[in-house]
Chain A
Amino acid sequence: MSTLIMIIVGCALINNVVLNQFLGICSFVGVSKQMKASASLGVAVIFVLTVASAVASLLYDYVLKPFDLDYMKTIVFILVIAALVQIVEMFLKKTSPGLYKALGIYLPLITTNCAVLGVALTNVKNEYNFIESVFAGLGTAIGYTIAIVLLAGIRARIDESAIPRPLRGAPVVLLAAALMSIAFMGFGGLS
């Protein structure tokens, strides 16, 4: 049990996926403009990342490894993730239109989110078993959500401040991310 908690804390805070590993920067910077969209994207990422880690782990353990197809993992994972997001989208559309309305537009965005492929590959590299992979996926996604929601909050304040012209737009957001990243380095003491 304690290993699982350690995996979640490690993935969410210590090795934060955005602020420490630089995965999913595009959506982190692009979507954090609005708080509501950030929170919705966060929930969608938690959902997809957990499911994708589970599926990727099963595929790796029961298909790729027994047949010695280890080198195929990049191709297999990216296709499975793309297909999975499509299936999730169709499933949500049929079963829960409310949830689909809230998360639907973010789902295609997640396919191009390198965090999903990154987690699947990291799990393989760390030789996690099925349960550990699921928790690592969940932890990483929680870390992503924390980071993007925090940045969205900061950007709401930035929008109301007078910023020197050259810093407007991307630079000030990246500076905010740099300061967040410094703060998150403090979690390194937990490990």
Chain B
Amino acid sequence: MNKYVERIYNGVAKENPTFVLMLGMCPTLAVSTAAINGLGMGISTTAVLILSNVIISALRKVIPDEVRLPAYIVVVATLVTITELLMEAYVPSLYEALGIYIPLIVVNCIILGRAEAYANKNTVGLAAFDGLGMGIGFTLALTALGFIRELLGAGTGFGIRILPESFEPIGIFIKAPGAFLVLAIMIMVLNAIGVKNRSDKLVNGCDGCCANCAKGPVHGKEETK
């Protein structure tokens, strides 16, 4: 397989950031109240992820190793600020709906994790496709979670009524507990059908280092640590 296509496949399926690597749980739970919010958050995160991967990959020989994390944070924070200003100007309704979670893209583990685990070791082109693949994987997961919650909690999908009027919406699903509930059930289903994922890493802590988690389950070295 072409190695660029392989990066996309890797991000979407093999190392899906939400369902396999279990990264970026805060935005996943917080903005998945409706399918459209999940999609919006996914696309903005993808944009930041591609650009940060490209910039960090391009600067990988310039940034000294000791100060790489602060340098990455500055790059990511700048990109997030640009995204935030663009969204405020062009999609004000989405900007309102996502609120504080847009600036919080800065602390999304996926972004720093990919910078540390992939972008600073690979060429610009590969890093861009890695960002794109991870971004698509994240967007799909967020949209799916948002779709399920919106469908059960409001009877709609992307704002269009899907379930008949006679269906009484189960309000809890679009409230805070619904996020935990739906994610728990999704991971349970993945466990039941035998999809290998990092759910153990999630509950046992990842030593505060996002890069460890972002490397994916196939490099089993850290697992035993």
The interface of chain A, by Cβ under 8 A from chain B, is 19-27, 29-31, 33, 71-75, 78-79, 82, 108-109, 112-114, 117-118, 121-122, 125, 165-175, 177-179, 181-182, 185
Contact = CB atoms under 8 A, between A and B. Distances in A.
A30 B74 contact: no
Interface in B93-134: 99-100, 103-104, 106-107, 109, 112
A30 B180 contact: no
A114 B26 contact: yes
B1 interface: no
A74 B183 contact: no
Closest 7 CB pairs of A and B: A30-B205, A178-B180, A170-B199, A174-B184, A109-B208, A166-B192, A22-B30
Interface stretch (B50-58, B80-88, B162-170): B80-88
Contacts of A23: 26, 30, 104
B206 interface: yes
Given A79-B73, A117-B104, A117-B106, A175 B180 contact: yes
A177 B74 CA distance: 33
A82 B200 contact: no
Given A165-B191, A169-B199, A174-B187, A181 B205 contact: no
Contact of A75 (B81, B176, B202): B81
A33 B200 CA distance: 11
A29 B25 contact: yes
Contact of A112 (B22, B103, B187, B208): B208
A185 B210 contact: no
Given A122-B100, A171-B184, A27 B176 contact: no
A79 B26 CA distance: 20
Interface of B: 22, 25-27, 29-30, 70, 73-74, 77-78, 80-81, 84-85, 99-100, 103-104, 106-107, 109, 112, 172, 175-181, 183-185, 187-189, 191-192, 199-200, 202-206, 208, 210
A19 B103 CA distance: 20
A72 B112 CA distance: 20
Contacts, number: 137
Contact of A114 (B107, B191, B199): B107
Contacts of B80: 74
13 contacts: A22-B30, A26-B109, A29-B202, A112-B112, A114-B107, A170-B184, A170-B187, A170-B202, A171-B199, A172-B184, A173-B203, A179-B177, A182-B172
A30 B202 contact: yes
Contact of A25 (B26, B185, B189): B26
A105 B179 CA distance: 30
B180 A174 contact: yes
A117 B200 CA distance: 27
Contacts of B70: 79, 82
A75 B25 contact: no
Given A26-B109, A30-B203, A170-B22, A71 B181 contact: no
Q: Which of A113, A117, A174, A177 has the most CB of B within 10 A?
A: A174
